[in-house]
Amino acid sequence: MKVALITGGSKGIGFGIAEALLKDGYKVAITSRTIASANQAAADLVAFGDVLAIEANVADFNSQQEAINLIIEKWGQLDVLIANAGVGHFAPVDELSVDLWKETIDTNLTGVFYSIKASVDEIKKSKGHIFTISSLAGTNFFAGGSAYNASKFGLTGFTQSVMLDLRKYGVKVSTIMPGSVASHFNNHQPDGETDAWKIQPEDMGKLIVDLLAMPARTLPSKVEIRPTTPKG
Ligand SMILES: NC(=O)c1ccc[n+]([C@@H]2O[C@H](COP(=O)([O-])OP(=O)(O)OC[C@H]3O[C@@H](n4cnc5c(N)ncnc54)[C@H](OP(=O)(O)O)[C@@H]3O)[C@@H](O)[C@H]2O)c1
């Protein structure tokens, strides 16, 4: 049975991917900055399969390494990394605080590097698959998005480079660039009715399951996904 780690699996996109991978037969570890949130999500997911809740902060390399160590101790392998954890802070550059800039880059960009750095040896052993969750904001810039755009433009470039580094080991690396997804992103409270036009977390889960089912010879390196009928 294959093993997946989803950083930031306590809610939103990560939670949707966790549910889809469990239903597809994976053992799934999810991380959150707090063990309470990770445990709550794991309790909601356990009906679908074998799930492990871990407290880990992607912005702390040692914390990421400990998460990988826990997974290897428990399950002995790691086949899929979904580097999903991310934050969104939006303000014009003259109003953007140094702290929010730092948190955005440390989480969305450096946090993905730490997640891959801590797991790459295990993923090479399993000839596994790494996904990063970038954004359409990783290719389209907008006012008020300086920190987020910088983090996601950086992540898109970083992931493409890592893809070229690791393909020779039989490791696939893909970056997913979603448009609007119904999640808790930027303190949003998802609402079934008003968010119905958005991509849903379970759609992201289906996408990952479908991409993992591609033949070994074929590498989906960069995938854009967007609502069919956007609002506003
Ligand atoms: N929603 C969208 O429209 C959209 C579009 C494109 C891309 N994305 C990207 O999708 C990813 C997931 O976002 P989402 O929309 O699902 O938002 P969300 O509902 O707010 O979920 C974010 C997840 O990331 C975790 N997280 C945040 N900082 C973390 C850290 N330092 N260490 C570990 N976990 C951390 C959160 O866990 P805790 O709060 O429990 O710690 C939570 O599980 C992000 O990278 C985001 O940029 C979102």
Task: Provide the token pair at 152.
Answer: 């996601």
Q: Which fold has domain 3-225?
A: Rossmann fold (3.40.50)
Q: In this structure, what DSSP letter does residue 73 have?
A: H
DSSP codes of every residue in 148-174? HHHHHHHHHHHHHHHHHHHGGGT-EEE
What pLDDT score does 192 carry?
Answer: 87
Amino acid present at 130:
I
Task: Provide the token pair at 154.
Answer: 């950086």
DSSP codes of every residue in 182-218? SSSGGG----TTTTTTSBPHHHHHHHHHHHHTS-TT-
- Assign 150 a pLDDT band (cuts: 50, 70, 90): very high
Write out pLDDT tens, residues 47-86: 999 999 999 999 999 999 999 999 999 999 999 999 999 9
Write out pLDDT tens, residues 163-222: 999 999 999 999 999 999 999 999 999 998 999 999 999 999 999 999 999 999 999 999
Kindly report the number of other CB atoms within 10 A of residue 122's CB atom. 20
Which contacts of 160-163 are long-range, i.e. CB under 8 A and separated by 24 or more positions?
160/221, 160/222, 162/116, 162/130, 163/219, 163/221
Ligand 1 centroid–CA 32 distance in Å is 9
Task: Provide the token pair at 20.
Answer: 């889809």
Ligand 1 centroid–CA 85 distance in Å is 4
**Number of the ligand 1 atom closest to the C-alpha atom of 13:** 16
Distance CA 190, CA 196 (A): 9
Q: Probe ligand 1: pick from 39, 60, 84, 203, max atoms within 8 Å of CB?
A: 84
Write down the residue that tokens 């799934």 correspond to: 28
Q: Which residue has the least CA distance to atom 45 on ligand 1?
A: 86
Q: Residues enclosing ligand 1, CB less than 6 A? A: 7-14, 31-34, 37, 57-59, 84-88, 107-108, 111, 133, 135, 178, 180-181, 183-185
**Number of the ligand 1 atom closest to the C-alpha atom of 57:** 32
Q: Probe ligand 1: pick from 40, 87, 108, max atoms within 8 Å of CB?
A: 87
Q: Which residues are catalytic?
A: 148
**Phi and psi dihedrals of 221, rounded to 5?**
-80, -35
Q: Where do the structural domains in the chain lie, given as residue ranges?
A: 3-225
